[in-house]
């Protein structure tokens, strides 16, 4: 049973301030940073317009902690499959800077791990698959994963497993996970506004006696399921997608045995993910910050805390997707265990 440390969002006194608690949480964990280690601090720095992502002050505290341990930190993420403002390293670095992440605010470099266009990768063989993982992450000695726990249109919710499985992969690794989630189109709802012809980043939506998806071109990125205001695009089955996210997580973490730690932020818990420029208002009050050396335990504990506070699975209620599948699949793959002991600071 893994330990999961928890700091409540309730801060009645200055000693309880959340930014101060980052160091206290990290000190509780098994140390993974040795002197001289190159440490990848993986987080989602937010789509342009998103305001739910992890606040820069928390990330800076992690950077400072890694430096105190003698590590050489860099902040990192990868380019996206959908359009938006993070599809290549140049756009991403501009967006990151607007969102508060740059060399001067963070005190360390920001490196987009899969390169300028998302093609810098190492191919990792796992469970009979070959998965493209971002090269700069594979070259690091240590991985510190900071995850904003929130709803997700394809995975039900996104926490550490989603952040590592999808977020540490190159474009080819992302395509491998997404190719099983190609959407369907409900003609009965369509008002033929043709906006989808513009917002599909892979030019996979065509007008031919109505709106049609060209499945040869579609990458399953999911942009249309979020952007069509009539809700015409929908997903059939996302179990295989979640299984693949878990396999990709294993591909990444096999490289960091005993050298990874995880922090989950249960703050600003929005219905949609940080890739979304309109994440909507939080669906539940802030809960706190969790820390663990076990990726499965920390996601399970995060999910349990939110369900317990809400009295129901609010992510299933919104997305009609059972997000627990990714946790179950990750546990089956031996990445971690879902039984945990919650230890409050």
Residues binding ligand SF4 (CB under 6 A)? 183, 190-196, 200, 202, 204-205, 211, 213, 218-224, 228, 230, 232
Tell me how far CA of residue 190 lies from CA of 140, 178, 185, 211, 237, in angstroms.
47, 24, 9, 8, 22
Alpha helices in the chain (DSSP H): 18-28, 56-68, 89-98, 103-106, 135-138, 160-165, 171-178, 195-199, 223-227, 239-253, 295-310, 314-319, 324-332
Shorter beta-carbon distance to ligand SF4: residue 228 or 314: 228
| Least CB distance to ligand SF4 at residue 188 (A) | 11
Contact between 94 and 129 (Cβ < 8 Å): no
Q: For 162, list phi and psi in degrees, rounded to 5.
A: -65, -40
| Least CB distance to ligand SF4 at residue 158 (A) | 17
Shorter beta-carbon distance to ligand SF4: residue 110 or 232: 232
- Tokens standing for 40? 């990848």
Nearest CA to 107 out of 154, 54, 71, 148 is that of 71
Tell me how far CA of residue 120 lies from CA of 90, 111, 251, in angstroms.
15, 12, 16
- Tokens standing for 255? 């490289």
| Least CB distance to ligand SF4 at residue 117 (A) | 17
Secondary-structure breakdown of the chain: helix, strand, coil percentages, each rounded to the nearest 5: 35, 20, 45
| Least CB distance to ligand SF4 at residue 218 (A) | 3
| Least CB distance to ligand SF4 at residue 80 (A) | 11
| Least CB distance to ligand SF4 at residue 183 (A) | 5
Shorter beta-carbon distance to ligand SF4: residue 68 or 207: 207
153-178 burial: b if 16+ Cβ within 10 Å, else e: bbbbbbbbbbbbbbbbbbbbbbbbbb
SS3 304: helix
Shorter beta-carbon distance to ligand SF4: residue 212 or 320: 212
| Least CB distance to ligand SF4 at residue 45 (A) | 22
Shorter beta-carbon distance to ligand SF4: residue 47 or 331: 47
Rg (the chain; Cα; Å): 19
| Least CB distance to ligand SF4 at residue 230 (A) | 4
Shorter beta-carbon distance to ligand SF4: residue 123 or 190: 190
Place of tokens 């977020």: 167
Shorter beta-carbon distance to ligand SF4: residue 61 or 171: 171
Contact between 223 and 83 (Cβ < 8 Å): yes
Shorter beta-carbon distance to ligand SF4: residue 224 or 306: 224
């Amino acid at each position: 049973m893994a330990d999961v440390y928890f700091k409540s969002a309730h801060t009645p006194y200055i000693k309880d301030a959340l930014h101060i608690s980052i160091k206290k949480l990290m000190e509780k964990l098994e140390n993974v940073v040795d002197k001289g280690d190159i440490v990848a601090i993986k987080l989602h720095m937010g789509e342009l317009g998103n305001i739910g992502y992890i606040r820069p002050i928390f990330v800076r505290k992690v950077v400072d902690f890694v430096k105190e341990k003698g590590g050489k930190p860099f902040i990192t993420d990868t380019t996206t499959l959908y359009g938006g403002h993070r599809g290549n390293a140049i756009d991403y670095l501009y967006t990151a800077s607007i969102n508060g992440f740059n060399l001067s605010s963070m005190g360390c470099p920001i490196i987009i791990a899969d390169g300028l266009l998302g093609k810098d990768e190492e191919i990792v063989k796992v469970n009979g698959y070959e998965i493209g993982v971002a090269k700069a992450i594979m070259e690091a000695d240590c991985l510190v994963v900071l995850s904003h726990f929130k709803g997700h249109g394809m995975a039900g919710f996104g926490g550490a497993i989603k952040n590592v499985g999808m977020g540490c992969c190159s474009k080819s690794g992302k395509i491998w996970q997404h190719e099983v989630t190609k959407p369907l189109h409900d003609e009965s709802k369509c008002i033929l506004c043709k906006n989808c012809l513009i917002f599909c980043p892979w030019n996979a939506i065509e007008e031919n006696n109505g709106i049609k998806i060209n499945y040869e071109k579609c990458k399953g990125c999911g942009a249309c399921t979020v952007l069509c205001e009539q809700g015409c695009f929908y997903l059939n089955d996302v179990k295989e997608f979640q299984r693949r996210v878990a396999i990709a997580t294993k591909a990444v973490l096999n490289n960091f045995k005993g050298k990874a730690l995880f922090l989950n932020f249960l703050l600003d818990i929005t219905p949609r993910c940080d890739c979304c420029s309109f994440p909507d208002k939080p669906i539940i009050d802030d809960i706190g910050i969790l820390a663990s050396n076990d990726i499965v335990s920390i996601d399970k504990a995060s999910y349990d805390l939110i369900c317990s506070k809400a009295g129901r699975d609010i992510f299933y209620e919104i997305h009609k997707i059972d997000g627990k599948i990714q946790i179950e699949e990750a546990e089956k793959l031996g990445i971690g265990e879902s039984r945990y002991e919650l230890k409050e600071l």
